[in-house]
Structure 1
Amino acid sequence: MLSPTDFDGQNAVDGYGPGFFRVAGNVHHGAIVVEGDRISEWGGLDDRATLCGLAGRVDVLFLGMGAEIAYAPRDLVEELKALDIRVEAMASATAARTYNVTLSEGRRVACALLPL
């Protein structure tokens, strides 16, 4: 029997579709960054300040590259690595699901999601 996951009041991604993500029951259009306690608009891969601002708050960033898997820009990965943030690039749907599982384990994670 499956039982619902308890996110202990933290932000989980509950759904997604073309151009939107639903986080903790609220719909957000466009690219976003989701952490356990906050949701931020994100300007995409060129908006490095938002991602660098995760330093000290998260250990792993799941980078959702849109509808398909793609490589993260190498210089972005290196910049975040220098801030002790490990980056895992994948399709946005996979990034959202992986974020949820890892968040439920109590780990310091975030996901940055480009729209599908």
Structure 2
Amino acid sequence: MRMDRERDAAGPLVRGFGPAGFKVDAPDGTMGVYPALLLTATRADGWTPPPFDALDEAALAPLLGEAIEFVLLGTGADLRRPPRALVAALEKRGIGVEAMDSRAAARAWGVLRAEERRIAAALYPLEG
């Protein structure tokens, strides 16, 4: 699926997604495709996520060095409840977790960034 929108958010934007992954447009004009993805307001990085049930704070460490309100967690092709230990660990830091399937999370990223929300995202692959 291709998502067209004007660049009205700072930082990387998800421009589309499909079986190969998430197509990301960086502010410098470069484009990348990532099967799994970590996003902040300033960067997009490929990610090798752990099995979903083993997701923990350490797996999200690259996101947690920035001042964020919550992590937008894309749980893959289907919505899944994040591990309770992860939610508790992030809440101790004052960071919320918003879980949704990865397609919805990719779409929400641009909307929330356009609102200048201080968020990060971890998107599990759509396939596999």
- TM-score normalised by the chain length of structure 2: 0.77
Q: State the alpha-carbon separation in 1 of the partners of residues 87 and 48 from structure 2.
A: 17
Which residue number in structure 2 is paired with residue 86 of structure 1? Answer: 96
Which residue number in structure 2 is paired with residue 100 of structure 1? Answer: 110
Which residue number in structure 2 is paired with residue 26 of structure 1? Answer: 31
Contact in 2 for aligned 1:20/1:27 (Cα 8 Å): no
Unaligned runs of 5+ residues in structure 1 are: none
Deviation at 1:5, TM superposition (A): 4.8
Counterpart residue type for residue 15 of structure 2: D
Which residue number in structure 2 is paired with residue 109 of structure 1? Answer: 119
Q: State the alpha-carbon separation in 2 of the partners of residues 29 and 106 from structure 1.
A: 24
Alignment of 1:8-19 (within 5 A): 8=10, 10-19=11-20
CA pair 83-41 structure 1, distance change in 2 beyond 3 A: farther
Contact in 1 for aligned 2:105/2:123 (Cα 8 Å): yes
2:86 is the counterpart of 1:43: no
How many aligned positions are there? 113
Unaligned runs of 5+ residues in structure 2 are: none
Which residue number in structure 2 is paired with residue 4 of structure 1? Answer: 6
2:68 is the counterpart of 1:58: yes
Deviation at 1:47, TM superposition (A): 6.0
Identity of aligned residues (%): 36
Deviations 1:14-68 (A, max 9, x none): 1111141011162333211111101123232446324234334211111000111
